[in-house]
Amino acid sequence: MRYSNSGLKESDVTPEALYHSRRRFLKQTIGGGAALSLSAYFPALAWASLPKSIISKFDGIEQTMAVDEKLNTFEEITSYNNFYELGTSKEDPKRNAGALKTDPWSVSIEGECSKPGTYTLEDILKPHSFEERIYRFRCVEAWSMVIPWVGFPLAELIKRFEPTGKAEYVAFETLYDKNNPLPGQRRRTIRWPYREGLRMDEAMHPLTFMATGLYGKSLPNQNGAPIRLVVPWKYGFKSIKSIVKIRFTRDQPETSWNTLAPDEYGFYSNVNPKVRHPRWSQARERRIGEFLKRETLMFNGYEQEVAHLYKDLDLRKYY
Ligand code: MTE
């Protein structure tokens, strides 16, 4: 066991403390011109879910977008999860995280585009520089968090594969090997694999993000390693985890929750305090870590940025 100068065990240093001290360190080095790699400075950081060549992308990440709200802790973000492949309770994903193997990993690009193929995770990530975005995250179950993601805009990835003029939607799938299912996939809670989809203009929107990390580290398995979608103005189930397939389609793709219960989970599923879930109100939410409920914001607070996407849509019908 190693001890730091302060006498604290390494395990006593929380990821947030590391994150904030790293930020301070970054400011100082930018000011002082020192050129130390962060991974060298903080060897304790975990990079398990990403290839070595990608790790350097975490050095000197710039924050490009941030809501001015208190961050949820690393502990909250990584121990209260929905990831049905790893079990249905909130604690299961962390408990069963070891069952998800992220190396090797590849992503299949299919459908209406001129560069289909199977790409290794390294091929997928290499051309992109990573940035940090602090987004609100609102689950359809009426809880929410504020999360510092690391990643890059989905639009940049999409452009590389040159979708054709016929591509109206983008469909995503999570891994599923029926001969070697993850613990939660042994039960047919949903029809595996988990599927999600976006309209092309939603996918190309600058807020739509591919996350590879959070709190300055690679994604923990329970949060959807090694690569997941984050669509901050939609209910959390649209933000599909551990993606292995991206398909450009002409027609609206089948999506897991919408197929299972179309009256409860619409294809769009934009956060909307005025449209009730049939079994509960969406007007308020419980921010994890807070006692009193808070008002839910239209489009989760991103109304200015995204309302134009839906100007021709009756949001009560297309929920
Ligand atoms: N992706 C997959 N593959 N499987 C899932 O069960 N759950 C969704 C979404 N993405 C889910 C998924 C739901 S309901 C939510 S609220 C978010 O992931 C939760 O993300 P988090 O655990 O990182 O907070």
Contacts of 258 (CB under 8 A, 6+ apart): 265, 266, 267, 269
Mean pLDDT, residues 251-256 taken together? 98
Residue 234 has pLDDT above 90, yes or no: yes
First-to-final CA distance of the chain: 53
Ligand 1 is surrounded, with C-beta below 6 A, by 81-85, 139, 174, 194, 223-224, 236-237, 239-242
pLDDT at residue 28, as a whole number: 56
CA of 199 to the centre of ligand 1 (A): 19
Nearest alpha carbon to residue 211 among 128, 315, 270? 128
| pLDDT above 60: residue 176 | yes
Instruction: Return the structure tokens found at 231.
Output: 């669509």
Condensed to tens digits (0 to 9), the pLDDT of residues 93-115 reads 999 999 999 999 999 999 999 99
* Residue 179 CA to ligand 1 centre (angstroms): 23
pLDDT at position 203, please?
A: 99
Q: What is the mean pLDDT of residues 160-183?
A: 98
Q: Which long-range contacts (CB under 8 A, 24 or more apart) does 84-90 make?
A: 84/184, 84/189, 84/190, 84/194, 85/174, 85/175, 85/176, 85/182, 85/183, 85/184, 85/185, 85/192, 85/194, 85/241, 85/242, 86/182, 86/183, 86/184, 86/221, 86/222, 87/183, 87/184, 88/184, 88/189
Strands 209-214 and 217-218: antiparallel
Q: What is the pLDDT of residues 259-313, one digit of tens each?
A: 999 999 999 999 999 999 999 999 999 999 999 999 999 999 999 999 999 999 9
Lowest mean pLDDT among 24-28, 51-55, 57-61, 85-89: 24-28
Ligand 1 nearest-atom number relative to CA 137: 24
Q: How far is the CA of 43 from the centre of ligand 1 (A)?
A: 29
Distance in Å, CA 228 to ligand 1 centroid: 9
Q: How confident is the model at residue 186 (pLDDT cuts 50, 70, 90)?
A: very high
Ligand 1 pocket test: pick from 229, 234, 241 the residue with the most ligand atoms within 8 Å of its Cβ. 241
Q: Identify the pLDDT of residue 13.
A: 61
In which residue are the tokens 């179950």 written?
Answer: 141
CA of 144 to the centre of ligand 1 (A): 12
> What pLDDT score was predicted for residue 39?
44
Residue nearest to atom 19 of ligand 1 (CA): 82
Instruction: Report the nearest-CA residue for atom 17 of ligand 1.
Output: 236
**Which residue is it, tokens 């294809």?**
267
Across 54-58, average pLDDT: 90
CA of 195 to the centre of ligand 1 (A): 11
What is the dotted CATH code of the domain comprising 44-310?
Answer: 3.90.420.10
CA 212 / ligand 1 centre spacing (Å): 15
State what percent of residues in the chain have pLDDT above 70. 87
CA of 41 from ligand 1 middle (Å) equals 32
List the single range of 60-64, 83-87, 196-200, 256-260 with lowest mean pLDDT: 60-64
Among 74, 229, 239, which residue has the most ligand 1 atoms within 8 Å of its CB, making it the best to mutate? 239
More confident: 51 or 196? 196
- Its pTM stands at 0.91
Query: pLDDT at position 85, please?
Result: 98
| Res. 6: pLDDT tops 60 | no
Supply the pLDDT for residue 233.
98
pLDDT at 25: 60
Q: Please, which residues have CB within 8 angstroms of residue 152's CB and are 6 or more apart in sequence?
A: 128, 129, 130, 131, 209, 210, 212
Mutate to test the pocket of ligand 1, among 82, 177, 288 (most ligand atoms within 8 A of CB): 82
Distance (Å, rounded) from C-alpha 261 to C-alpha 264? 5
Kindly state the average pLDDT of the residues 249-259.
98
Average pLDDT, the chain: 90
- Comparing 15 with 254, the larger pLDDT belongs to 254
Distance CA 155, CA 207 (A): 9
Mean pLDDT within 55-65: 91
pLDDT at 178: 96
Asked if 81 and 94 count as a contact pair (C-beta separation under 8 A), the reply is yes
Q: What is the pLDDT of residue 20?
A: 78
Q: Which residue's C-alpha comes closest to atom 14 of ligand 1?
A: 237
| CA of residue 87 to ligand 1 center, whole Å | 11
Q: Output the residue whose Cα is nearest ligand 1's atom 5.
A: 83
Neighbours of 188 (CB within 10 A): 7
pLDDT value of residue 16? 80
Mean pLDDT of 24-42: 48
State yes or no: pLDDT of 146 exceeds 50.
yes
Ligand 1 mutation pick, 73, 83, 137, max ligand atoms within 8 A of CB? 83
**How much is the pLDDT for 43?**
40
Domain extent listing, the chain:
44-310
- Mean pLDDT confidence for 209-224: 96
pLDDT at 122: 96
| DSSP three-state, residue 137 | strand
